[in-house]
Amino acid sequence: MAEEKKKVEVPLPKFPEPDTEPFWDAARNHELRYQVCDDCGGIVFHPRRHCTHCTSLNLSWKTSKGEGTVYSYSVVRQNYHPAFRERIPYVIALIDLDEGFRMLSNVVGVDDPAAGVSIGQRVRVEWLDFEGASLPAFTPA
Amino acid sequence: MATQQRDAAIVGIHEYPDRSVDGLTPLQIKAESAARALADAGLNWSDVDAIYDAGDGGPQGMAGLSISEYFNIKPNVIDTTSVGGSSYEFHASHAKRDIAAGKARVALLTYGSTARSQSFNIGTGGRMRGGPPSPLGNMEGSWGMTLISNYALVAHRHMHEYGTTSEQLAEIAVVTRAHAMRNPEAKRAIEELELMPAVREISVQDVIESRMIADPLRMLDSCFISDGGGAVIIASPNVARDCPHTPVWLLGAGEATKYPENGGDITHSAAAQSGPTAFGEAGVTPGEIDIAMIYDSFTITVLTILEDLGFCKKGEGGSYVEGGGLAFDKPGQPALNTDGGGLSSNHPGMRGIFLLIEAARQLRGDSTSQVPDAKLAVAHGNGGMLGARHSAATIILGRD
């Protein structure tokens, strides 16, 4: 992880940003958090101040077990952004967490991205630590 | 058909011919295109009383006001809806509504872009995370998702659920290139911008052998980046009656949005919502459509939208596009993107206006891949990211 800490050019979350700051605060402790509405029980993700299912403003943070399934993915083979260009080829994916929310992330820890990642594959969270933020990525379970 | 409304029509069009401009600004391209479209309609700046603008002329502040001053028009209606590549279908929908309501008589829509001259890496520039903190940037900006890889998420899921193949997606690029080769301006673009594999028609094999950019989408599944622009004049029936060209009526319009949803299905786009609204208002069915102008940022965009608009069932898009039936000279299926589309004619970033322009050319009888006696067209714009948040608007066009 020490090596990765040097790659400060990876675009990291910026603050102040009140909606998402609690998510990223927890991420520094390697906790993957999402919101549940106290009034209707609906899951809210991306993080917000209001419930997107009912008119409630009463949301609670929960911690995910970090286990889920690959909903879809792509192997990125061209990106002009310098921080990502050096990682090519890498996998972006939509992950359906078992608690019922979907997030964009990377699937890491596979030798051959084209052969090692598939839709429906079970994955678990793997934290990538950078200076100032920890990013949740996923690895085959 | 008896209830079909004919309350607004396209009476003037212009497509800026060059794909690589030399020193012009987007504002200048917009103004020249507007002037030529007005001339095409037999109208003048002073006739324009409604402006629709996506802000592509650049950040001047006071959206709608500054562009009106630049053109020297004094509109009663200003609409600055800016929702990506479909903005022009939204504008056409709003112009139809405003003219029908008697708020305007002559509406002006313009587009100008120098994306190529300025070397925007639209599809593969990463989500660069410039600008101030934002919720969206914070939740999606750190994983290296390019625009094309977002569309690739839809393609992979479509393949997984319905067995769609890369060869089927390639058919869309093949038929679009065949139409481009009949369009001198598109042909010149392919030559000047050195699009692979040179100035010729392409085969499914060419597409499959082109470089993988974001699995499963390849170079020839993708639109290319050009400069360009255009303008469309939409007018009331009273104005249209005195214009030189046959009016191209806006018979129906539908608008929709879609976002990433927990548990959502990304193989359905917002077209599934905007399509039925537009077809319902026009009182026509997809089976009656002669010309399908479908936003082709990537091949998967077209496949998904064809299904969502009801040209075939969800999941059957692959077999629907097989066999070249979407070519202009094949009866039985609509002709797809007869100008050569974003895949092979031009894509300056937001090409929705060209869908309206080519639909109008077809219904006037002026296309370079003219469908004999074309009567009905659909123009469907898609803006944003197909696999995430996107906007969609469907316009049904017809002639008398």
The total of structural domains in chain A comes to 2
Q: Which residue of B has its CA nearest to A10?
A: B142
If contacts are CB pairs under 8 Å, which of residues 221-260 in chain B contact chain A?
A: 260
C-alpha–C-alpha distance, residues B326 and B335, integer Å: 5
Domain membership of residue A83 (yes or no) is: yes
pLDDT, one tens digit per residue, over B308-327 is 999 999 999 999 999 999 99
- Between A13, A101, A119, which is nearest B142 by CB? A13
C-alpha–C-alpha distance, residues B49 and B321, integer Å: 42
Check if the beta carbon of residue B260 is closer than 8 Å to that of residue B389: yes
At the topology level, CATH places domain B9-118+225-398 in Peroxisomal Thiolase; Chain A, domain 1 (3.40.47)
> B299-309 and B147-162 are packed helices; what angle lies between their axes, rounded to 10 degrees?
50
- Between A73, A78, A96, which is nearest B153 by CB? A73
Looking at the fold, whether A94 and A112 belong to one and the same domain comes out as: yes
Nearest CA to B114 among B229, B230, B227? B227
- Between A20, A84, A100, which is nearest B138 by CB? A20
Looking at the fold, whether A56 and A74 belong to one and the same domain comes out as: no
Check if the beta carbon of residue B379 is closer than 8 Å to that of residue B359: yes
The residue type of B1 is M
Domain membership of residue A2 (yes or no) is: no
Looking at the fold, whether A78 and A140 belong to one and the same domain comes out as: yes
Looking at the fold, whether A19 and A85 belong to one and the same domain comes out as: no
* pLDDT at B1 > cutoff 50: no
- The residue whose two tokens read 């990525």 is A137
Looking at the fold, whether A59 and A73 belong to one and the same domain comes out as: no
For A91, the domain range is: 65-141
pLDDT, one tens digit per residue, over B159-186 is 999 999 999 999 999 999 999 999 999 9
Q: What SS3 state is found at A105?
A: strand
Summarize the confidence of residues A3-17 as an average pLDDT. Answer: 75
pLDDT at B2: 46
Q: What SS3 state is found at B182?
A: coil
Per-residue DSSP letters for B307-319? HHHTSS-TT-HHH
Domain membership of residue A111 (yes or no) is: yes
C-alpha–C-alpha distance, residues A103 and A95, integer Å: 5
Domain membership of residue A5 (yes or no) is: no
Looking at the fold, whether A140 and A79 belong to one and the same domain comes out as: yes
Q: Report ipTM for this prediction.
A: 0.95
Check if the beta carbon of residue A57 is closer than 8 Å to that of residue A51: yes
pLDDT, one tens digit per residue, over B346-373 is 999 999 999 999 999 999 999 999 999 9
- The residue whose two tokens read 């802000």 is B55
pLDDT band of residue B264 (cuts 50, 70, 90) is very high
| Residue A10 sits at the chain B interface (C-beta within 8 Å) | yes
Mean of the per-residue pLDDT values of chain B: 95
Residue B119 burial by Cβ neighbours in a 10 Å radius (0-12, 13-18, 19+): exposed
* pLDDT at B114 > cutoff 50: yes
pLDDT, one tens digit per residue, over A68-120 is 999 999 999 999 898 999 999 999 999 999 999 999 999 999 999 999 999 99
Interchain contact, B141 vs A48, CB within 8 Å: no
pLDDT band of residue A12 (cuts 50, 70, 90) is very high
Beta bridge partners of A35: A44, A61
Tokens representing A23?
């998510």
CATH number of domain containing A127: 2.40.50.840
If contacts are CB pairs under 8 Å, which of residues 72-111 in chain A contact chain B?
A: 72-81, 83-84, 87, 90, 92-94, 96, 100-106
Looking at the fold, whether A59 and A69 belong to one and the same domain comes out as: no
pLDDT at B127: 47
Looking at the fold, whether A72 and A30 belong to one and the same domain comes out as: no
Interchain contact, A23 vs B139, CB within 8 Å: yes
Instruction: Name every residue whose Cβ is closer than 8 Å to that of residue A128 and which is 6 or more positions away in sequence.
Output: A1, A4, A106, A108, A134, A135, A136, A137
Looking at the fold, whether A76 and A37 belong to one and the same domain comes out as: no
Number of CB atoms found within 10 A of residue B271's CB = 31
The residue type of A115 is A
Check if the beta carbon of residue A45 is closer than 8 Å to that of residue A52: no
Interchain contact, A105 vs B157, CB within 8 Å: no
Q: Which residue of A has its CA nearest to B146?
A: A79
Looking at the fold, whether A58 and A77 belong to one and the same domain comes out as: no
Domain membership of residue A116 (yes or no) is: yes
Looking at the fold, whether A105 and A77 belong to one and the same domain comes out as: yes
Beta bridge partners of B393: B255, B381
* pLDDT at B300 > cutoff 50: yes
pLDDT, one tens digit per residue, over A25-55 is 999 999 999 999 999 999 999 999 999 999 9
pLDDT band of residue A1 (cuts 50, 70, 90) is very low
Number of CB atoms found within 10 A of residue B31's CB = 22
CA-based angle B347:B172:B325, to the nearest 5?
A: 130
* pLDDT at A6 > cutoff 70: no
- The residue whose two tokens read 């800016």 is B82
pLDDT at B125: 66
Looking at the fold, whether A58 and A73 belong to one and the same domain comes out as: no
Main-chain phi, psi angles of B174, to 5 degrees: -65, -50
Main-chain phi, psi angles of B7, to 5 degrees: -105, -5
| Residue B62 sits at the chain A interface (C-beta within 8 Å) | no
